[in-house]
């Protein structure tokens, strides 16, 4: 008797159930971002990126093709007195290089904040067919992807950029931010970052906080140094890195010029 009641109840449910549900396949959520930035230097680092937006900004690891026609180089002179990473445009006969980094969405007034942060850079668009995702996360299906390229006044982006010198050295504190950003995506990603960065210089100032015992303030300092020493592009110049006092003594004549 009980089994008959169950069958009857099931039959009743089937009768009142809708013949079909609305098909939402292909519908997108409204109000999605349409502007994105490709970061290849300090913007790879989450705390550095978040500090500009004033909020947590999620990013995905990507790589720009050599066909884009640029090299990641030490080529942007900051007004505060050091050389940051930039992109140098390939010259005739050069192919360019792949450049890994991150892509993240820019919403609301954040683009103006990043434009202000990257003063002295021109913001140019990266063609969608010249950038690829390198993890399980996919690139945004629509919208524009921008990148900041150093530009001299009245000059083309990435052209005629000066190398580091005594007054505008490489700063270890900046390098730490960049490499630790790369390490967020694994040692291989950070190594690729170093291997595709050009223009390393003898003008290299170790300005870390408590620089002779950096691990006190930065537990990742040893990992950064090990990577720098293991990649030929950076290792060749790492031996030139100097603490503040020796740096001032060695390069004092040039700084006075």
pLDDT (average), residues 108-125 = 95
What is the 3-class SS of 95-153, one letter each residue?
Answer: CCCCEEEEEEECCCCHHHHHHHHCCCEEEEECCHHHEEECCCCCCCCCCEEEEEEECCC
Provide the whole-model pTM.
Answer: 0.89
Where are the domains positioned within the chain? 35-255
Does residue 109 register a pLDDT over 70? yes
Q: State which fold the 35-255 domain adopts.
A: Hypothetical upf0131 protein ytfp (3.10.490)
With cut-offs at 50, 70 and 90, classify the pLDDT of residue 153: confident
Judged on CB neighbours under 10 Å (0-12, 13-18, 19+), 239 is exposed
- Mean pLDDT within 206-211: 97
DSSP-assigned letter for residue 163 = P
Q: Alpha carbon 165 to chain centroid distance?
A: 24
- Least Cα distance to 248 among 201, 205, 186 occurs for 205
- Give the per-residue pLDDT at 74: 98
Supply the pLDDT for residue 8: 46
Mean pLDDT estimate for the chain: 92
| Mean of pLDDT values over 102-127 | 95
* Tens digits of residue pLDDT in 161-206: 999 999 999 999 999 999 999 999 999 999 999 999 999 999 999 9
Q: Quickly count: other Cβ atoms within 10 Å of residue 255's Cβ.
A: 13
Q: Does position 9 have pLDDT exceeding 70, yes or no?
A: no
């Amino acid at each position: 008797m009980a089994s008959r009641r169950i069958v009857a109840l099931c039959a009743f449910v089937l009768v009142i159930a809708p013949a079909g549900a609305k098909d939402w396949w292909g519908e997108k959520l409204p109000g999605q971002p349409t502007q994105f930035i490709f970061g290849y230097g300090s913007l790879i680092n989450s705390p550095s990126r978040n500090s500009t937006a004033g909020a947590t900004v999620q990013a995905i690891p990507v790589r720009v093709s050599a066909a884009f026609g640029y090299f990641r180089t030490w080529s942007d002179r900051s007004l505060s007195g050091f050389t940051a990473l930039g992109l140098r445009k390939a010259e005739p006969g050069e192919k360019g290089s792949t450049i890994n980094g991150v892509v993240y969405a820019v919403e609301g007034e954040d683009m103006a904040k990043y434009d202000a942060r990257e003063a002295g850079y021109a913001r140019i668009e990266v063609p969608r067919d010249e950038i690829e995702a390198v993890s399980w996360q996919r690139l945004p299906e629509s919208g524009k992807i921008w990148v900041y390229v150093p530009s001299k006044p009245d000059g083309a982006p990435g052209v005629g950029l000066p190398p580091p010198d005594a007054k505008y050295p490489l700063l270890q504190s900046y390098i730490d931010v960049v490499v630790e950003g790369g390490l967020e995506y694994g040692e291989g990603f950070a190594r690729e970052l170093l291997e595709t960065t050009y223009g390393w210089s003898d003008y290299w100032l170790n300005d870390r906080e408590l620089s002779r015992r950096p691990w006190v303030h930065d537990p990742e300092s040893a990992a950064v140094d090990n990577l720098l020493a293991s990649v030929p592009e950076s290792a060749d110049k790492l031996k030139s890195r100097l603490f503040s006092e020796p740096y001032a003594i060695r390069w004092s004549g040039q700084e006075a010029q």
